[in-house]
């Protein structure tokens, strides 16, 4: 009779583990691994990604337009703008990584990692192994931290932007204004220079037109605005995710040092004693 109760308890543990494994795999395939589960997070990333891509295109266009202006007046501004496009590329890569990692991490955790952890947890209960239980509980905590890392970092980034009222719209408006004025500057120069000889004489004897100076001033203002915006984007898109990861690693390390399996073993031993 005692053996029957013991085997019954073991059978219940096995069945419960199988049910949990089937449940998490089903959730991974139908929810955690689909973009709909992260709709708000992806929408936030897409909005920022769209702004960064448009800003990168405008920055490149402004730099190229300034280069077309006769003389070396706008060369330093053009070079600085091209340097900053590298940072925009880095931010773009990070945002794409965050966007597509959401569903991949969800599938990986719920379809592969959690079933292994649940199986390990069940084996620990059946074998009364404190070591196996500790590994499974710690593994579960690590999986949870990894799963929530990107949504938490995106949420923190949005909170910072709202707190400081940061928006790419202002920077994009400044970029479009600079692009329009630099285009006018090059067009103004081409209209004035009707032929090569007149153009050569005008470049030597005439001062830079007010239209050209207006274009350069607009480009310089945009450069300053872009530097400020990049500082915020680097913090919200790059530094905050890294800090969140570092904090989660630290939390995981501390949790691994805590023996969370002892209460589970006490509960399991109590069930065994009652069965006997």
Residue 256 CA: distances (Å) to CA of 32, 136, 141, 262: 26, 11, 9, 13
Measured in whole angstroms, how far is the alpha carbon of residue 227 from the centre of its chain?
20
Q: Are 27 and 147 in contact (CB under 8 A)?
A: no
User: How many angstroms separate the CA atoms of 61 and 206, rounded?
Assistant: 27
Q: Phi/psi of residue 128, each to 5°?
A: 55, 40
- Structure tokens, 46: 């897409």
pLDDT tens sequence for the chain (276 residues)? 566 777 788 888 899 999 999 999 999 999 888 888 888 889 989 988 999 999 999 999 988 888 877 667 778 888 888 888 999 999 999 999 988 888 899 899 999 999 999 999 989 888 888 788 888 888 888 888 888 888 888 888 888 888 777 778 888 888 888 888 888 777 654 444 444 444 544 544 454 567 777 777 888 888 888 888 898 888 888 888 888 888 887 887 776 666 555 555 555 555 455 545
Distances in whole angstroms, Cα of residue 103 to Cα of each of 38, 97, 108: 8, 11, 9
Residue 197: the pLDDT is 44
- Burial tier of 196 (Cβ tally within 10 Å: 0-12, 13-18, 19+): exposed
Distance CA 223, CA 274 (A): 75
Reading the block at residue 66, the tokens are 């300034």
pTM for the structure as a whole:
0.75
pLDDT confidence of residue 191: 47
CA-CA distance, 154 to 142, in Å (whole number)? 19
Angle 248-250-256 from CA coordinates, rounded to 5°: 100
Note the pLDDT tens digit of each residue in 96-126: 998 888 889 989 999 999 999 999 998 988 8
Distance CA 62, CA 177 (A): 10
């Amino acid at each position: 009779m005692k053996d029957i109760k013991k085997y019954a308890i073991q059978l219940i543990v096995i069945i419960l583990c199988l049910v949990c494994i089937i449940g998490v795999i089903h959730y991974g395939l139908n929810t955690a691994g689909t973009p709909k589960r992260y709709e708000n997070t992806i929408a936030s990333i897409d909005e920022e990604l769209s702004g960064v891509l448009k800003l990168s295109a405008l920055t490149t266009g402004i730099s190229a337009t300034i280069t077309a202006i006769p003389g070396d007046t706008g060369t330093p501004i053009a070079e600085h703008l091209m340097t900053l496009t590298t940072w925009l590329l880095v931010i773009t890569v990070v945002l794409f990584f965050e966007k597509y990692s959401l569903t991949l991490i969800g599938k990986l955790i719920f379809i592969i990692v959690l079933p292994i952890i649940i199986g390990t947890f069940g084996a620990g209960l059946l074998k009364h192994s404190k070591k196996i239980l500790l590994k499974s509980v710690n593994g579960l905590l690590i999986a949870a931290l990894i799963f929530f890392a990107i949504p938490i970092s995106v949420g923190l980034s949005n909170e910072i932007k709202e707190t400081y009222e940061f928006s790419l719209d202002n920077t994009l408006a400044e970029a479009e204004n600079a692009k329009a004025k630099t285009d006018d500057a090059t067009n103004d120069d081409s209209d004035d220079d009707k032929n090569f000889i007149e153009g050569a004489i005008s470049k030597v004897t005439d001062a830079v037109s007010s239209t050209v100076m207006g274009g350069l001033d607009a480009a310089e203002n945009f450069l300053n605005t872009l530097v400020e915006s990049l500082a915020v984007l680097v913090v919200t898109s790059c530094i905050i995710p890294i800090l969140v990861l570092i904090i989660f690693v630290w939390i995981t390390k501390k949790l691994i040092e805590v023996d969370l399996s002892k209460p589970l073993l006490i509960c399991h031993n109590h069930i065994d004693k009652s069965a006997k």
